[in-house]
Amino acid sequence: MYSVAIEKYTVLMNSITKTQNSPRLLDQLRTAIRYKHYSYATEKAYVYWVRFYIRFHNLQHPAEMSAAQVEAFLQYLSVKRKVSASTHKQALSALLFLYREVLKQDLPWLEEVSRPITSKRLPVVLTRQEVTCAFGNLEGVHLLVAKLLYGTGMRIMEALRLRTKDIDFDHNCIIIRCGKGDKDRVVMLPASLASSLKNQLQYANNVWKGDRANALPGVELPHALQAKYHRAPESWAWFWVFPQERTSACPVSGIHRTRCGIASQRTYFNLAQMLEPFKPCLGTTT
């Protein structure tokens, strides 16, 4: 009996030592996501769901759980929290990524976890009067962003992350780089927005000149471009069309620099709040 106790104690201490010497699970998750070049939005979402999953099961380590715990968590989201099918799928994708890419457990029961069925809805098309009402609720740069979304069909973060070199006035087009699925595409530039965009670029140019005069770090570049082109982050071509008024820390690198989108997250919620009265006709939850 004494030898058995010694053996159990040794196994426990080895497990504790291994845990202390290895990165925290969520840090491992972030590293795996960045290795795959997933977007920062995906990283935040996956970290949120994995943390939620662990807390839901009273801080039990995911490696010690099985299909029953995953199903219980997803059932809670659907039944108690009443999340949409897309949110349900996102949570499931986060857990699948955790088990397969971080814990390296390609277990058979992962394929047996039930998937939600996404309903197909007809698109809601706004009338001219509804569009005019929606735009009348906005002003300044928020109005320009809203018109850009409506006129080009781009997503809000695609608009907020535009670089100055992506707007081509000569060919009346806008190049969207690293969009959803890390794909590039070209959209038409609405002629009615050309003048407003030129004014916005003039404002951005003033911000860029201020950054250069104060020797601030350049803007962040996608993937490994910064290592390849050392001076590119400081160039006008790579500067944001919609820069922040103030510098802030990059959530990935921690470097204080001018970031995109007038504090992208804040702008997103500002737009959502301003459009709140028109959600019924927009047919969207954001």
Decide if pLDDT at 84 tops 80: yes
Do residues 100 and 148 both lie within one domain? no
142 and 95 together in one domain: no
Whether residue 250 is contained in a domain is answered as yes
pLDDT at residue 189, rounded to an integer: 95
Q: Tell me, what DSSP letter sits at residue 7?
A: H
181 occurs within a structural domain: yes
Q: What is the CATH number of the domain that holds 7?
A: 1.10.150.130
158 & 30 share domain: no
Q: Do residue 145 and residue 192 come from a single domain?
A: yes
Residue percentage of the chain with pLDDT more than 90: 35
- Cβ proximity of 38 and 180 under 8 Å: no
pLDDT of 198 above 90: yes
Tell me, what's the pLDDT at 221? 80
- What is the pLDDT, as a whole number, of residue 285? 41
Are 15 and 105 part of one and the same domain? Answer: yes
User: Measured between alpha carbons, how far is 59 from 64 in angstroms, rounded to an integer?
Assistant: 11
At 49-68, the pLDDT tens digits run 999 999 999 999 999 988 88
Which pLDDT score is estimated for 19? 40
Angle between helix 140-152 and 128-136 (nearest 10): 150
CATH number at residue 235: 1.10.443
User: Are residues 132 and 224 both part of a single domain?
Assistant: yes
pLDDT tens digit sequence for 200-259: 999 999 999 988 998 888 888 876 676 677 788 889 999 999 998 777 666 666 665 666
Residue ranges of alpha helices (H) inside 36-182 are 40-56, 67-75, 85-97, 128-136, 140-152, 156-160
- The torsion angles phi and psi of 22, rounded to 5 degrees, stand at -105, 155
Per the structure, the count of domains in the chain is 2
Say if residue 106 is in the same domain as residue 149: no
**Is residue 98 located within the same domain as residue 135?**
no
| 136 part of a folded domain | yes
In a domain? residue 120: no
283 confidence band (pLDDT: 50, 70, 90): very low
CB 267 within 8 A of CB 160: yes
pLDDT at res. 249: 66
Are residue 93 and residue 173 in the same domain, yes or no?
no
Residue 160 has pLDDT above 90, yes or no: no
pLDDT of the residue at 174: 96
Query: Is the pLDDT reported for residue 163 higher than 90?
Result: yes
Residue 121 lies in a domain: no
Q: Is 158 in the same domain as 241? A: yes
pLDDT at 137: 81
Report if residue 116 sits inside a domain.
Answer: no
* Mean pLDDT value across the chain: 79
> Each residue of 106-121: pLDDT tens digit?
767 666 666 777 677 7
Q: What is the domain range of residue 167?
A: 128-282
145 and 230 together in one domain:
yes
End-to-end alpha carbon distance in the chain: 62
Are both 150 and 37 inside the same structural domain? no
Q: How many angstroms separate the CA atoms of 46 and 92, rounded?
A: 9
Give the residue from 77, 110, 143 where a domain finishes. 110
pLDDT, tens digit (0-9, with 9 covering 90-100), for 13-40: 444 444 444 579 999 999 999 899 888 8
